Amino acid sequence: MAATKKEQRPSLVIRNARPADAAEIARLSGKVYSEEEAYSPAMIRGQVTSFPDGQFVAEYEGQIVGYCATFLTREALALAPHRWDEITGHGFASRHDPKGDWLYGMEVFIDPEFRNLRIGQRLYNERKKLCQYLRLKGVVFGGRLPGLAKRRRRVGTPEEYVEQVQNKKIRDPVLSFQLRNGFEFIGILHDYLPDDTASLGHAAHLVWRNPQVPQTDDQEQGEGSGRLPDAVRVATVQYELRRVNSFEQFQQYIEYFVDVVADYGADFVTFPEMFTLQLLSLEEHPLGPAESIDYLTGYTERFKEFMSHLAVRYNVNIIGGSHPTKLPSGDTQNICYVFLRDGAIHEQSKIHPTPNERYWWNISGGSEVTSIMTDCGVIGVMICYDAEFPEMARHLTNQGAQILFVPSCTDERQSFLRVRYCCQARAVENQSYVVVSGNCGNLPGVENLDIQYAQSCILTPCDFGFDRDGIAADTTPNTEMVAIADLRLEALTTARNQGTVQNLNDRRFDLYSVRWKSR
């Protein structure tokens, strides 16, 4: 009987949030706020991937019932007047600064049904423990004033309202709790959250100073988790389309390149868009464009199984070009499958089919763009034409992506240059690495894929600390070959926070943003 009672004891744990929690956390935010004000899964992934150690969930009986989001920022920004949208990168935590000396608390919310478990207290304690572990100066945030609107005629200004709360003449459900937890009021943040009508848009600027760290400008910072390698070796395959006599022969060609890059110690290898179309040469009778794509979708599961096996066997993460796939809805999408060396398979649909893809192949566009956590950092995929839309790269960067892979398929030089120039722009404006892989060779028997032009490349931002001309490696045009480069993730961090230009930090969050709409 005693053992049975012990097994039934409720459990409440605080742990770090994981990317896989994003959908559940987003649903909880909709329950706490409203569907219009809720975080999207992409925003949660951005927070988690930007600073994995700084995001916490409260899990009760296996259910997520609370969430706490933080990021690192520098004192000059944290203690100056600011707005929530600006300092948090519109809720993605994309302004996380690994060299920051303050922990910024951007969000805490609790399931209303579990507010009697002191979950808020536990989450605030986790913030303080993290702050002390990283030897940061303290915790800073803008706290809501939900009682201000009701009392504005009686108390006057926000400053007078806070003073009365401090003197315990009135009680504010949020500010009173924060003051009891040792936070110091340093001023009012005006227009902090304009949509917060209960607080009249204002917030209390609050800090908790770490007693274990001198409050000077030159203390050493914690090193963080150190989970990622100093350099990531990336390979791009410029693949020659050719006739094959069997699926096994197709497998031999692909395995050859995976074997080669694995011998060179590559962490990633990427193949071009639609490189599986060479399987159409197995069909004895000519097929129309739409028939060709329908035929090719029959190889989807066999292709996925084979590529995943290669990724695990050769210990390399494979960006599997793209492959047309029939969905349960009956639509066909152009999907890039990402095969990680731990056996996981991710997929990213092409968002923007070209006019030819829509007309000839009946390809429809996807609607979700999701970053992918790997053992070498966070990556994103844009398929060819997608790279010509800057919103996609920015959305992936907001979710923490540092390397953007672009499988492409272009028929002549102008088409190739559109993709190439846009990829270089994406590398500059997002201060990210961009890896492009294209097809060469010809498939005379395949409608709408007669000729190919490619010069695959590995692109970097254009600043000190990166390769000349922003090109880490590239290939000879229209020649089957492999390009390999070592990419330092730390160089991106340095550029984003100390570069000659700082495109991410200097965004005007007060003027514009990228907001992804759910369908």
- Torsion region of 438: left, alpha or beta (phi above 0 gives left; psi -120 to 50 gives alpha): beta
CA pair distance 129, 138, nearest whole angstrom: 10
Identify whether 350 is a catalytic site residue: yes
Q: Which of 273, 347, 357, 480 is catalytic?
A: 273
DSSP label at residue 41: H
Question: What angle do the packed helices 247-263 and 300-314 form, to 10 degrees?
Answer: 30
Contact status, residue 432 vs residue 458, Cβ threshold 8 Å: no
CA pair distance 333, 363, nearest whole angstrom: 5
DSSP label at residue 19: G
Q: Which of 350, 409, 457, 480 is catalytic?
A: 350
Written as six digits, the tokens of 485 are 């480069």
- Show the beta-strand stretches assigned E in 359-487: 372-374, 377-381, 403-407, 433-437, 439-441, 457-459, 471-474, 481-487
**The 3-state secondary structure of 314-341, one letter per residue:** HCCEEECCCEEEECCCCCEEEEEEEECC
Identify whether 384 is a catalytic site residue: yes
Contact status, residue 503 vs residue 428, Cβ threshold 8 Å: yes
The SS3 assignment for 243 reads coil
Identify whether 150 is a catalytic site residue: no
Helices (H), 168-299: 175-180, 247-263, 289-296
Q: In which residue are the tokens 């050493």 written?
A: 220
Question: What angle do the packed helices 413-430 and 390-398 form, to 10 degrees?
Answer: 40
Q: Which of 68, 384, 422, 440 is catalytic?
A: 384
Residues taking part in catalysis: 273, 350, 384
